[in-house]
Chains A and B, each alone.
Chain A
Amino acid sequence: MRFLPLIWSGIWRKPGRTILIFLQVSVAFALFGVLQGLKTGVEHLIGEARADLLIVHGGLGLMDPLPLSLLEGIKSIPGVKVVAPVELFGAIYQNPNQKLGVVAIRPDEGWLSAFTFTIAPDYVAAFRTMRTGAIIREGLAKKYGWKIGDHIPLMSTSAQMNGSTDWAFDVVGTYTDSDVGGGKETLLVNYAYFDEARFAGKGTVNHFNVAVSDPRLAVNVADQIDRRFANSANATQTDSLRELAQSQLQSIGDLNFLIRAIVSVVLLALLFATATMMMQSIRERTPELAVLKTLGFTDGAVFLIILMEAVAVFVAAAACGLALSLLVFPFASKIVPGLSVPLVVVALGLICAVLVAVISALLPAVQGAKLNVATALARR
């Protein structure tokens, strides 16, 4: 403890230099936080995606339609709790640049357990009784200022029976979605209404959502579904939500190499810059260190004081930088919606800061410790 004042005065010996090093370290760790946060955040999201929710889509890919008649077949497979048909189509609101995704679902018994949505019970009840009802994703409702009771006209690429491509829905509530994938600007509508009114593709769905009774059976159930429809005209491909998240975020995983490279480059450059500054500082302080030793400070104590100076500045600066990265992260996370910096990254950053500090201060500290009092004072 008696070293504290010494360390403190050592840090502020040249305030300008310390502040610059502080800023440099902060900036480096702000970048570290954002990049590493992106990487770890993606891994986190995949881990959090539901493994017990299966998506059954056409064997040819996510755009391959399946007939609604598959529903009973899927339901009959042991371990399946709820099967929910889902049809997707694109629409625009007012002008071609305001695109939104429409999700047509059937509000059957227990349907919500086959989705990642959170919806208030009275909205669900209102949706069930209103054929043209729509539940709007909260962000979308906010964007256009839509309120419950509003009648919203949309234009779609799917035509109605009468040839018109205009559709209209009545807002009955809002919902939030915990899933990573899919669009952000979406609304839920009644499949029964949509399917009856549309011109082409009647009786088909984009995919089925399947909730399983026991999460441990998910892989097994997925296999059984695919096996049941294999070699038919409607071969299926069943994946859990987690598998889908994995393949969707895979592309960002390709950036992992780049992220690692940048983070290493940043830390290396930082290491070199601070090591030079520390050397310079110890050179300038040779007489002061000699005086300390004359007063009876051991070599070990001098070594420790120099090391602690560096560690203190680095940890404080890194904490500052990481806090900054938490602040700017919402902008960077535009790339992956719903991403946040896990606390692991902060801990990792602080460990890195201590490491860089110790490595860059090691040589100067050894120099300071090995200092010969007589020659050091004589040089003065």
Chain B
Amino acid sequence: MNFTRQFLSILLMNLSGIRQRSAQVLTIIIGVTCAVGVLVSMLAMGAGARRQEMGDVRADHATLITSGARYLQSNISRDEIAAILGLPGIQKGAQGEPIVVFESMVPIEGRRRVTGNRIYFPLVGITSTVTQYQQMRFTDGRMFKPGLHELIASSPCVRQFTGFEIGDRRPIHGSDWTIVGHFEQGKAQQCVVYADVDNIMSIFSRNSYGAVSVLLRSPADFAAFRDAVSANPALKLEAQRESEVAEEGFKELNAILNFVSYFVGTIMAIGATLGAVNSLYAIVDSRRSELATLRAIGFASGPIMLAVLVESILWAFPGALLGGALAWVLFNGLSASPFGFSFQLAVTPSLAVLGIVWALAMGFVGGLLPALRAARVPVATALRAT
């Protein structure tokens, strides 16, 4: 008899006798389900956060910041405006004006709609070119008028916080500001409020911008744009692609989420593997006489080992599917807001695949020792015991 035929017949024999061992098999499946389910749900947070942060990134967007500073925390002085507007590669608007957005951010206090808890959200002073720079869909009201004390709020603000209805007045630095519009921008779930940048800067007596964003004619113009920035001695600035800015802002959260996910996931996987080992030992022990008989009639130990290994992986597999499915059913699309970020959990296909691989690894590692024991059943004693 050749190896494959031996292996297949042993595997069939093992699987057919499984009804008596259903408790052990269930233990393996439940353990793997829990481990995979938890890992996939936790990684879904990171995937969701990334999908949201990177979802609106465009290749023809570039941002200027002071070297070493973070986005919106730069010091770009008014003296640099002329040099920035003259940079090459910038898309021109309908009236021939370069599409450049000057930004200045102030954190503003808000109250959560449900709990009444205080939180901070960004009030971003912005030039009105922003409507040409990025997609902004007004769901209600209109754009703010430059020079007036007017605010426009993204729709998440209205959903999450109080005081953002059209016509609501917010006192900011001693004067009243009126909400005149609600807008949506891409996938962003963050509350952000825009106002005229010059108004904001004069009220907060600032004389430098936090960041400058430009719309490029095409993504290919970025290299020339960046070189022009670094070649200009009047500009102490650094040009970054929008994806780099998003990646930078997301780095810290991503590192924490990944660390927590893999930390918890690994510990749970170890626990599930240990449970699988114990269950498989019990299964193998219950088959001692069958295995001894097989050895006695000439079966080799190789196929016996392989059969146990494959069996172990087979029992881990439904656990993987179940765990991934549970994570998807329970958590996909659920909103989470750990560490001040808020986003929807995303159970992506690649996460599901990762869960399956993870489970198969658990099955494989868990099956190794029991497979060895199965192959080493001492024929004589095992047969005598029955």
Q: Do A and B bind each other?
A: yes
A31 lies within 8 A of B264 (CB): yes
With contacts A60-B108, A61-B120, A233-B173 taken as known, whether A20 is within 8 angstroms of B338 at the C-beta atoms is no
The answer to whether A21 has its CB under 8 Å from any CB of chain B is yes
A265 lies within 8 A of B339 (CB): no
Within 8 A of B (CB), among A138-180: 155, 157, 159
A-B contact pairs, 14 of them (CB 8 A): A27-B267, A27-B274, A35-B264, A59-B109, A60-B107, A63-B107, A65-B204, A157-B74, A157-B75, A201-B205, A254-B336, A262-B38, A273-B27, A273-B30
Count of interface residues, chain B, beta-carbon cutoff 8 Å? 57
B282 lies within 8 A of A280 (CB): yes
The answer to whether B116 has its CB under 8 Å from any CB of chain A is no
Smallest CB separation, A211 vs chain B (Å) = 23
Task: Indicate the size class of the contact surface on chain A.
Answer: 35 or more
Within 8 A of B (CB), among A37-76: 59-65
- Nearest 3 CB-CB pairings of A with B: A96-B68, A233-B174, A61-B107
Chain B 205-217 interface mask (CB, 8 Å, partner A; 1/0): 1011000000000
The contact of A28 among B271, B277, B340, by CB within 8 Å, is: B271
**Chain B contact residues: helix, strand, loop or mixed:** helix
Chain B 265-287 interface mask (CB, 8 Å, partner A; 1/0): 00110111011011101100000
B337 lies within 8 A of A273 (CB): no
Report which A residues bind B (CB closer than 8 A): 16-17, 20-21, 23-24, 27-28, 30-31, 34-35, 59-65, 90, 92, 95-96, 155, 157, 159, 200-201, 232-235, 237, 247, 250-252, 254-255, 258, 262, 265-266, 268-270, 272-273, 276-277, 279-280, 332, 334-335
* Cα distance A147–B108 in the bound complex, in angstroms: 40
Question: How many CB-defined contacts (below 8 Å) exist between A and B?
Answer: 135
A269 lies within 8 A of B278 (CB): no
Contacts of A332 in B (CB 8 A): 260, 263
* Cα distance A23–B270 in the bound complex, in angstroms: 9
**Chain A contact residues: helix, strand, loop or mixed:** helix
B26 lies within 8 A of A237 (CB): no
Within 8 A of A (CB), among B56-87: 66-69, 73-75
Residue in chain B with minimal CB distance to A246: B117
A27 lies within 8 A of B270 (CB): yes
The answer to whether B349 has its CB under 8 Å from any CB of chain A is no
Residue in chain B with minimal CB distance to A239: B118
B109 lies within 8 A of A237 (CB): yes
B68 lies within 8 A of A276 (CB): no
Best-buried of A90, A233, A266, A270 by chain B (most CB within 10 Å) = A266
B264 lies within 8 A of A262 (CB): yes
Contacts of B109 in A (CB 8 A): 59-61, 237
B34 lies within 8 A of A265 (CB): yes
Contacts of A62 in B (CB 8 A): 107, 120
Smallest CB separation, B286 vs chain A (Å) = 9
A269 lies within 8 A of B106 (CB): no
